[in-house]
Structure formats: C-alpha cells, structure tokens
Amino acid sequence: MKTYADIGIQIPQIYLPRKGINLTKWAVIACDQFTSEPEYWQKVETLVGNKPSTYNLVLPEVFLEKPGEKARIRFIQEKMHSYLQNNILEPRQGLVYVERTVAGKIRHGLMLCLDLERYDFTRGSTSLIRATEGTIVERVPPRMKIRTGAGLELPHILVLIDDPQRTVIEPVEKARDGFEKLYDFDLMLGSGHLTGYAVSETLEAQVVSSLRWLARPDAFAAKYGLSQDKPVLLFAMGDGNHSLATAKAVWERMKPEVGLDHPARFALIELENIHDEGLEFEPIHRVLFGLQKDIFASLKSHFGANFTYTAVTTAGEMVKTVDNAQGPRQVIGLVGGGREFGVFEITNPSSILPVGTVQVFLDTFLHEGGAEKIDYVHSKEVTCMLGAQPGNASLYVPGMGKSDLFKTVILDGALPRKSFSLGEAREKRFYMEARKIS
C-alpha cells in the first residue's frame, strides 16, 4: 500500500462487486438514515430479496440496540466472510473517482484512506483530521460492537477539504473520460445515480501533490489569516462523524495488540471539496418522542425574557418564517407539543448558531426526563409529520452556510452536534465500496 504519512492518507485496495451483480440491489443508503421510518428499510429488504447486497453487511440504526441485534451482527460478519470467499467482491488497487447525481446536482469525490493516527474527535482537537461537530460519545460503543471482529468496512463517511482553487479533485474530474469506468448505475428508491472511475497513477500523484500544498503551514496560515504556528486542519468531517469516531475507538483498542502496521489503522472515506457546487448544507431538525413535560412551558422557563412565541396557521408558513429570518434574533419552528405550528424567537442566544442554542435547551430537557427520546431528521415534511403526532414535538431549525465552516472549526472548535447535513436523507452516501480491515 502507498502511504503518505505527512498528509495522513493511504491509497486503498478497494473491493467492488464482481461483474454481473445487480448494483441497484447491492448499494444501500447510509445506516443512520430513516431511523424513524422503518417502512423505508422494509422496502429495502423487499427490493434486495436474496441477492448480494450491502444491506446484509451493515446494521441500519433503526435496528440498533433492538431485540435480535446480536444475531444480526453475527449474520453481518458471516456475510462479509461469505462474500469474500465466494468472490462476490473483487479487489482493485488505487483511488476511485466518484460522481453522485441526485436532485439535479452532481457531487464529485475521491475514495481514499485516512490515517486514524492523525485524527482526534475530542473537543479542542488540533489534529490534521478533525470533527466539525460534537461527537456523542454514547453513540460510539454500540457501533464498536459491529466493527470489532468485522472483516470489512463499508464507508458512508464524507470528509471535506477547503480547496477554493480546485486543485485536488477537479483535475481528476476533467480527466475522467480517459479512466476505466468501474460502475455506473441508478440507486434504489429514487436516490439518483452513481458512477465510479479508476484514477490513473499520474492523476494520483497530482492529488497527493495538491494535498501537500494545502497542508503547507504557510499556505494554511495565509488562507485563514493565521500565524504559521497554528496546527493545520486539512481534513474536516462532513458526514459519518460517529462512524469515523468508531473506527478510531476500535483502532485505539486494537493498537497495543497488533502494532502500527495494520489495515485497521486506516479508514476508507470519500473526499469532497467544500466548494463543490453540488454540495449543499442542509439543516438537521429535532423530533422529541413521548413527551413527559410541557415543552412550551419548559422553553419559556429556560429562555425567560429572551423567549417570544408566535402561532402560525400552516407548516408552510412556519418553514418560510424560519428560513427567511434575518438579524440578530434566532428563529426556530415548533410543531406539536400541545400546539399546532408556531415559531419562537430567542434574543441574547447562548450560541452563534440557532441549532446550538436550542441543543443546550434540549440537553437539559431530556436530562430532566422531558421526553422519552430524541431523533435527528433531515426532511422538513417528516419533521412536521412526526411532530404533529400525539405525544411528540418537533423543532425546525434553520440551515447554516458552508463557506465559513473550516475557519469556524479552526478558531472556535467543533460545532454543536448535528448542526448540518450534506444534503437531505435520500442524497446521503450509499454503500458501494468495501475494504478489508482484518
């Protein structure tokens, strides 16, 4: 394997389905999607049937910590072994250039490995690879049970670079017609199209050179107006924060036994440029299930004189009011909780972002037994639908711009957890490529 320790990457050996496998049935969406919509995963199971599929190699979080989880994890690990033994998966060495077409947009990415020795997800980290949002440490151990002992990893991790001059991925895009096409197919259930190309060694060398330039302390300092002693942030988490944190946690546990020269030291990811026009930041809304307390009264009590509520007549009016809000006040939508639709404004907020301000309230509300559980939802329609159900409430939060993400993380540290999403649920990464980690 080619490893470039100075920039924390490795050129991977990737396993892809052999020719003749139905790729629409093979690729399924990231396991942390549609967690409050089990009917989506029922459709996936029906569509896949008994055909080879990544559905058999991952644990959708709708089933996480539910009855039958241990048996499902054993099944996953057995299927990994079976797919390798029966040549369902075949290896190839090198970078893969990926295009994802969905909702009229094209995202461009590169499949490569990141060195987990250069990654630290703890708050205040100054590592080369960093989390952009707070990591919920309680979410890591259940995922460790799946990765521990697994023969393969299948990533839904998207990692960002800040490359305004478009020197890393875009030259690969321009040369793609000269590459071998590895896959080209429609994704299931209306989630667009996926195409992958084998990157030539010439372009691979150019990618490495361009990443090295971005990682130069002088170039980094000049870009953000910093002193040259500020630690370089080259790779920032986009999606799959807890998956990479899980890979890191498993690696740290394994390392004393296996040493540093082991495939589990690295994690396969898709790299994207934050300046890609096809990459959009979407808000992640909050849904509370099984309310035990009056959320409206709790909001008023928590924010006091800084809280103002206005009822509106429709979900559309609520969404429009939140999305179009300007000025220093933070505006958030409320669905359910004893009311139909409304918006509340917060003055003198505790966080730069509305999602951060409301998360502080929710952490306290949940800690005090205000609701049975919380879920994080991308779709505005699902947010409104779930919030309107008896005993539930939803908080509809505005999105954030992507242009200042890197500088914010460099100067202020990780954002509040679940601050943004790269696209809506159906736009999430699908499992396609695999890599051996044992």
Spans of all domains in the chain:
3-281+422-436, 284-398
Determine contact, residues 353/360, Cβ cutoff 8 Å. no
Q: Quick one: DSSP state of residue 133?
A: B
pLDDT reported for residue 138: 79
H or E element in which residue 209 lies: helix 201-214
- Residue 289, classified by CB atoms within 10 Å of its CB into exposed (0-12), middle (13-18) or buried (19+), is middle
> Given the structure tokens 């809280």, which residue do they identify?
307
Is residue 197 classed as helix, strand or coil in its secondary structure? Answer: strand
Chunked into runs of 10 residues, the chain (438 residues) has average pLDDT values of: 96 97 98 92 97 97 88 94 96 98 95 98 92 81 89 96 97 98 98 98 97 96 92 94 94 96 97 95 94 96 96 95 90 92 94 88 96 92 95 94 84 82 88 97
Determine contact, residues 273/366, Cβ cutoff 8 Å. no
Could you give the CA distance from residue 121 to residue 397 in angstroms, rounded to a whole number?
A: 25
Report the amino acid identity of residue 140.
V
- What are the CA-CA distances from residue 81 to residues 20, 159, 379 (Å)? 20, 28, 36
Q: What is the DSSP string of 75-88?
A: HHHHHHHHHHHTTS
3 strand-pairing partners: 10
What sign for the dihedral angle of Cα 101, 102, 108, 112?
A: negative
> Given the structure tokens 């954002």, which residue do they identify?
415
Determine contact, residues 241/121, Cβ cutoff 8 Å. yes
| Alpha helices (H) in 233-294, listed in sequence order | 241-258
pLDDT reported for residue 405: 87
pLDDT reported for residue 408: 82
pLDDT reported for residue 344: 96
- Residue 107, classified by CB atoms within 10 Å of its CB into exposed (0-12), middle (13-18) or buried (19+), is buried
- What are the CA-CA distances from residue 147 to residues 124, 155, 322 (Å)? 26, 11, 39
> Given the structure tokens 């307390």, which residue do they identify?
293
Determine contact, residues 436/430, Cβ cutoff 8 Å. no
| Prediction pTM value | 0.85
Could you give the CA distance from residue 87 to residue 342 in angstroms, rounded to a whole number?
A: 56
Count helices and strands in the chain by DSSP H and E runs: 13, 23
Closest CA to 158 of 438, 391, 428, 437: 428
Could you give the CA distance from residue 257 to residue 253 in angstroms, rounded to a whole number?
A: 8
- What are the CA-CA distances from residue 205 to residues 11, 67, 172, 199, 273 (Å)? 11, 48, 11, 10, 18
> Given the structure tokens 């033994």, which residue do they identify?
85
Could you give the CA distance from residue 217 to residue 266 in angstroms, rounded to a whole number?
A: 24
Determine contact, residues 93/3, Cβ cutoff 8 Å. no
pLDDT reported for residue 188: 98
pLDDT reported for residue 401: 79
